[in-house]
Amino acid sequence: MLWYKSWREIRVVALGGVAAMAVACVMIVWFEQAMRSNQEIPLSYVAYLWKSVYNSIGRDMFLFLCVILGGGGLLQEKAKGTAGFTLSLPVSRGQIVFWRAVMGFVGVVAIALTPAIVLPLVSPYLKEAYPLSQALGFSLLWMGCGTVFYAFTFLLAHVLEGEYTAILVTIPSMMLYGVLNSLPWFEHFPMLNIFHLVNGEDMPFFDEGAHLLSGPLPWLPMLMLLMIACALVFASSRRMRLRDF
């Protein structure tokens, strides 16, 4: 039943995030003509959606929600005064951390999948089309990349005391990571740029002209990101095992 507790902890952010993402996608689609007519260079519908959803508002909102989802756990419970009750349950700390991590990941997946459902469904109402396969491909990229930011915040939330400290530290850390990505050294390793990997920008699997995913998804980098995320969650669990409450 730890899954239920963890679900209740993330429910507001997860469902709120899905709703906010869905509304954002609907608005982007709904006002596409007005927005596209303001562009200096004419944009195709697909390019407009990529720029609006996958390269700006949608992506930023998604990454921010991943960070918020990661900011929970036993230290946050300690700040709220409920850690004593949780730790008195006949379960291991590893199980508590595991289920919190799993449910947070479920939240990340749900939010990542929202554009894949909304965009192909809403587009026909404006006599436009957005391929489901493209939307699903971007959702997979979001999941892979978002999971790392989620797990990074999750680890910080299990190291730093305070209800929102982990979130407040992660956001400037992400900005710093963005700055580091512009260093010449990083240009040799484009797959290390998660901000580009998340939407395909400057990536070999992305057609910059058509704004479509054109090749096989980067499964190996995605697998590595997933492994990094698992390692961060494992480190969180190890950290909790030794911690006094």
Residues that bind another protein (CB under 8 A): 1, 4-5, 8-9, 80-85, 87-93, 241-242, 244-245
The residue among 91 and 226 lying less far from another protein, judged by its C-beta, is: 91
The residue among 59 and 93 lying less far from another protein, judged by its C-beta, is: 93
Q: How far is the CB of 33 from another protein (least distance, A)?
A: 42
Q: How far is the CB of 82 from another protein (least distance, A)?
A: 4
Q: How far is the CB of 15 from another protein (least distance, A)?
A: 13
d(CA 229, CA 146): 10
CB atoms within 10 A of CB 180: 12
d(CA 25, CA 53): 7
The residue among 39 and 92 lying less far from another protein, judged by its C-beta, is: 92
Rg (CA), the chain: 19
The residue among 2 and 27 lying less far from another protein, judged by its C-beta, is: 2
Q: How far is the CB of 94 from another protein (least distance, A)?
A: 9
Q: How far is the CB of 152 from another protein (least distance, A)?
A: 25
The residue among 183 and 242 lying less far from another protein, judged by its C-beta, is: 242
Under DSSP, the state recorded for 126 is G
Between 132-157 and 219-241, two packed helices, what is the crossing angle to 10 degrees? 20
